[in-house]
Amino acid sequence: DSGVTQTPKHLITATGQRVTLRCSPRSGDLSVYWYQQSLDQGLQFLIHYYNGEERAKGNILERFSAQQFPDLHSELNLSSLELGDSALYFCASTLGHQNTEAFFGQGTRLTVV
Amino acid sequence: AQKITQTQPGMFVQEKEAVTLDCTYDTSDQSYGLFWYKQPSSGEMIFLIYQGSYDEQNATEGRYSLNFQKARKSANLVISASQLGDSAMYFCAMRGGKLIFGQGTELSVKP
């Protein structure tokens, strides 16, 4: 158990809908990273939050948004969903320093039908 | 800009033999961290090993070692005495401003 909790584990929704993925980092971790992993693909970096502030953005679509709350949990909002958004979405948390590994949640598998 | 490259989409190794998975990186940062993760078919991401850019010695964790060649910007993962349970996807990652991953190498261990 990595200590990072992602909910839900599985999500099936229709095109055009909006969903929210939730991530609770390990106790004490200030950084949260979000990734998208499509079938047979690597992890595409979406966005990084540190202590409530956005620190870096990757190839995140405008239809996607995220935030980190004062209790440090984070949510990734995906709207106007398309079939191509079907993927495994991971969050990872880390203390905040470069020399510490990131711990991953189990991921949320999103299927858009 | 940061970049991680894994040039081996798939690798095969005989059980009990050693295998090297390649990783090269590019960054203009002076301070950065390099990581390897394992992703079995069940999907979870498992941290294996870390190397800091200022570390002079290569990192080792059990059967895993990281062959760090800073001048060549490479951070290859060496798995000794391969086991059937090592069959998985392996990702190299780098952390500077962002935490980015390579495309992965699928390792298959043959009995």
pLDDT tens string A52-63: 999 999 989 999
Pairing of strands A53-57, B3-5: unpaired
Residue A4 predicted with pLDDT over 90: yes
A92 and B45 within 8 Å at the Cβ level: the answer is yes
Tokens 């510490």 correspond to A100
The first and second tokens of residue A99, run together, are: 């020399």
Q: What's the mean pLDDT in B84-94? A: 97
User: Pick from A45, A49, A46, A47: which is nearest to A30 by CA?
Assistant: A49
In the prediction, which pLDDT does A103 show?
92
**Separation CA B9–CA B105 (nearest Å):** 5
User: Can you tell me the distance from the alpha carbon of A67 to that of A87, in angstroms, rounded to the nearest whole number?
Assistant: 20
* Cβ–Cβ below 8 Å for B91 and A42: yes
Under 8 Å CB-to-CB from B38, ≥6 apart: which residues?
A: B45, B46, B48, B86, B88, B89, B90, B91
Task: Please tell me the predicted confidence (pLDDT) of residue B106.
Answer: 96
Contacting A with CB below 8 Å, chain B residues are 31-33, 35, 37, 43-45, 47, 50, 52, 91, 93, 95-104
Planar angle of CA A94, A44, B3, nearest 5 degrees? 85
The confidence score (pLDDT) of residue B47 equals 93
List the single residue in B96, B100, B101 with the smallest CB-CB distance to A98: B96
Tokens of B58: 């290569």
pLDDT of residue A51: 93
